[in-house]
Amino acid sequence: MAKQSKAKTARKVLMGLALLVVVVAICVEIGGRLATEKIAEDQLRSAGVAGGVEVTVGESWWRPTVLPAIFTGRVDRIAIGLQNAKLYSLPVAQADYILNDLQIDLSLRTAKVVASSLGSGSVRVLIDPSQIGALVGVPAEIRDGVLLLGSPLEPAELSLQGNDLIIDSAQLRAAGQVTSLQVADPELLPCDPQVRILGQMVELACTGNSLPGVLRNSIGVGTPVIPVDSQPTQLEPPATLEKPATPSTATPSTATPAGGNDGG
């Protein structure tokens, strides 16, 4: 009888310990997700991303994400949503980043999330046509899947050449207005995007395996898995860069200024 009582007590203790482990694991998982999301959101805002920022950790609510990350340093998925944000030179209505199989270093003590590699990811940026119109200085809207620009409104075609969004409009060309905008900044889209009309928005979208610059500079270590472009990633929008001044062809003066340095 005594042995049965001890065995029963031992089973109760083991069950209690198992239940405690499960409760602790759930708390670590939920608390870890919330903490990681808050840290990543704060880092994005600190990096200069204005507007709404929402980070979601984990591929699904029932599949553990934080616990495996503690032991392996890998997170199955991080989704980042931006609303009415201004990313450097490009105002966007919505931007969605889905990042899969990330190698990360998470420190709750220092409140930092650092991603060093990415298995795969997709990016979708939606632009209100009025923003394009504002950049080229004419009214703009979308009707029946067609971008209309100018006054009066006339059909225009969009295409991408490198980092440039090309706006083909006879009216703009005739008026001598800008028809090329540098909007596919490596800070936003680290892969070659496709452009199309989606509903009442202009969509830029692509897939790749390198962190976008705006994320790499906030939650990344600054080194992509695979170089995405021969040009260096820039924190300032390319549109703000000025061409270097043409060297003067004038004959330099041979006079030595008073107190000058002869370079010796």
pTM for the predicted model, two decimal places: 0.70
Mean pLDDT, rounded, for 122-142: 89
Residue 143 has pLDDT above 70, yes or no: yes
pLDDT, residue 192, reads: 78
- One-letter amino acid for residue 216 of the chain: R
Looking at per-residue pLDDT, the higher value among 22 and 109 belongs to 22
What are the residues facing 18 on neighbouring strands? none
pLDDT, residue 260, reads: 45
Dist CA 37 CA 40 (whole Å) = 5
**Residue in the structure block whose two tokens are 């046509």:** 129
What are the residues facing 117 on neighbouring strands? 103
Residue 108 has pLDDT above 70, yes or no: no
pLDDT, residue 28, reads: 84
Q: Residue 229: which of 181, 187, 182, 180 has the closest Cα?
A: 187
Looking at per-residue pLDDT, the higher value among 233 and 9 belongs to 9
pLDDT, residue 87, reads: 62
pLDDT 10s digits, 180-217: 777 666 666 667 788 999 999 999 998 888 777 767 76
Dist CA 57 CA 79 (whole Å) = 6
Mean pLDDT, rounded, for 232-260: 37
Tell me if the bond preceding 190 is cis, omega within 30° of 0: no
Dist CA 49 CA 215 (whole Å) = 10
Residue 13 has pLDDT above 90, yes or no: no
Residue 51 has pLDDT above 80, yes or no: yes
pLDDT 10s digits, 23-46: 888 998 898 889 888 888 888 888
3-class state of residue 174 by DSSP: helix
Dist CA 115 CA 217 (whole Å) = 10
Dist CA 236 CA 244 (whole Å) = 16
Residue 53 has pLDDT above 80, yes or no: yes
Those residues whose C-beta lies under 8 Å from the C-beta of residue 67, and which sit 6 or more positions away, are: 25, 28, 29, 32
Q: How many CB atoms lie within 10 A of CB 255?
A: 7
